[in-house]
Amino acid sequence: MDISLNSLHGEIPPAIASLSRLSYLDLVGNFLHGPIPREMGSMGLLGYLGLAFNNLTGRIPASFGNLTTLATLIIAKNMLAGAIPEELGKLASLDYLELDSNLLDGQIQESLGNLTKVRSMYLYGNRLSGPIPSSLGNLRKLRDLDLGQNRLSSGIPVFLPNLTDLNTLYLAGNELTGFLPQEIGLLAKLNALLLYTNQLTGTILPIIGNLTGLNHIDLSDNQFVGSIPGEIGSLVGLRFMSLSQNQISGSVPATFGNLTGMTRLDLFSNMLSGPLPQEFAYLTHLEVLSIANNSFSGELPPDVCKGGNLQVFQVALNMFTGPIPVSLKTCTSLIDFFHLFQPDNRRYIQFWALPSSCRSRFITKQTSRAFVEKLGFNYQSNQAVCGRKYDYRKPATRILKSSKLAGTSAPHKQSYRRNTSGI
């Protein structure tokens, strides 16, 4: 029975359990409220149960542990509270589990390690705490593990090599500590690694270069130190990389030039230094380049926008010298020329070296010297570059956020958050 995506309201009647021969029940996307009837645990032939995108409250019924034929359980995006019932570990046929975006608390139950057929597990956006249970290492068919945006602590589990089919690992937005385990480099099928906004320390391991299937890596907002390993240049399928807001030092490896399909590179707020490698010219698909608040020096690569796709260019608070890159005249899609002229750069960049084809758009003989200085010093976004009219009253600062993950073929899953295709 599929009555999803309607405007049904009220509570789910306990009498629904009388439909004892029902194998498919989809109530997703309505306005249902109140508790989930515990009587639903007697619907022993259910293979699919979808209750997501409603306003359900109370706890997940322990009686759900009786639904031994259930393959798909989707009760995300409600207001369910309390602990995850230990009885869910009895769902031996479960292939897809989605409990995200509720108010669930307590620890992740060890019994979930009994779900040996599960391929996708989404628990993100709750209030779960404590360590990630080692029993999840039993889930050898797991492809997508999303535990992000909780309050999980301790370290990244070392059982990861057991999860040989893992495609997406999303542990961001927790309170995880410790080092990256060497074992993470053994996840040969990993496509997306999202560990941002934790308290991870140590260095970024060269063994990450073994993850040649990676499309998306985000280690930002942690406490990583040391240099960026050149082995990252082996990740030729990478489209998105963020290492921002750490304490990473040293120079950017020239091997970044191998990442020719990269569309977004975030390195801002670290302690990186030295010139940018000329190999950046090979990154012709870049749409976002954010390297502000480091200690970079030398000239900006003249071909930084060789591909003509750059939309966001943030290089403030460095020590760059020399001319503004000539290739910026091809950036017809540029929407954020963010703080290029902030004080540490403004003293050195030759403003009048901007290509005349661009400069004439907004600098005339009538333009006062004071205005030219203010243009660089005060304004947050300069859309006047290369033909875009600059309205100083409406600065167009745009900070693009990381997309958060993970593809799934389950019904009703259209969230951009889980779409990594083309990142």
- pLDDT per residue as tens, the chain (423 positions): 999 999 999 999 999 999 999 999 999 999 999 999 999 999 999 999 999 999 999 999 999 999 999 999 999 999 999 999 999 999 999 999 999 999 999 999 999 999 999 999 999 999 999 999 999 999 999 999 999 999 999 999 988 889 999 999 999 999 999 999 999 999 999 999 999 999 999 999 999 999 999 999 999 999 999 999 999 999 999 999 999 999 999 999 999 999 999 999 999 999 999 999 989 889 999 999 999 999 999 988 888 888 888 888 888 889 988 888 877 776 777 765 544 444 444 333 333 333 444 444 433 444 344 433 333 332 223 333 333 333 333 333 332 233 333 333 333 333 323 333 333
| Secondary structure element (H or E) that encloses residue 266, with its range | strand 264-266
Question: What integer pLDDT is reported at residue 385 of this predicted model?
Answer: 32
Give a yes or no: residue 33 inside a domain.
Answer: yes
| Number of domains making up the chain | 2
Same domain, 138 and 225: no
> DSSP string covering 160-213, please?
GGG-TT--EEE--SS--EEPPPGGGGG-TT--EEE--SSEE-SBPPGGGGG-TT
Question: What integer pLDDT is reported at residue 360 of this predicted model?
Answer: 42
Q: Domain boundary at 159, 178, 209, which?
A: 209
CA-to-CA separations, 380 to 3, 287, 288, in angstroms, rounded: 50, 19, 16
Same domain, 90 and 197: yes
Same domain, 110 and 29: yes
Give a yes or no: residue 411 inside a domain.
Answer: no
CA-to-CA separations, 50 to 2, 23, 105, 240, 412, in angstroms, rounded: 9, 12, 21, 32, 9
Give a yes or no: residue 215 inside a domain.
Answer: no
Same domain, 253 and 332: yes
Domain extent at residue 239: 221-401
Same domain, 191 and 225: no
Residue reference for tokens 């074992």: 183
Same domain, 260 and 383: yes
Whether the CB-CB separation of 224 and 201 falls below 8 Å is answered with yes
Give a yes or no: residue 385 inside a domain.
Answer: yes
Question: What integer pLDDT is reported at residue 396 of this predicted model?
Answer: 31
Same domain, 204 and 250: no
Same domain, 205 and 225: no
3-state class percentages of the chain: helix first, strand second, coil last, to nearest 5: 20, 20, 60
Give a yes or no: residue 273 inside a domain.
Answer: yes
Token reading at 366: 């009538």
Question: What integer pLDDT is reported at residue 379 of this predicted model?
Answer: 27
Token reading at 122: 């989404």
Question: What integer pLDDT is reported at residue 94 of this predicted model?
Answer: 97
Same domain, 243 and 130: no
Give a yes or no: residue 410 inside a domain.
Answer: no
Same domain, 116 and 158: yes
Question: What integer pLDDT is reported at residue 336 of this predicted model?
Answer: 56
Give a yes or no: residue 422 inside a domain.
Answer: no
Q: Number of C-alpha atoms within 13 angstroms, CB side, residue 334?
A: 29
**What is the DSSP secondary structure assignment for residue 344, as one 8-state letter?**
H
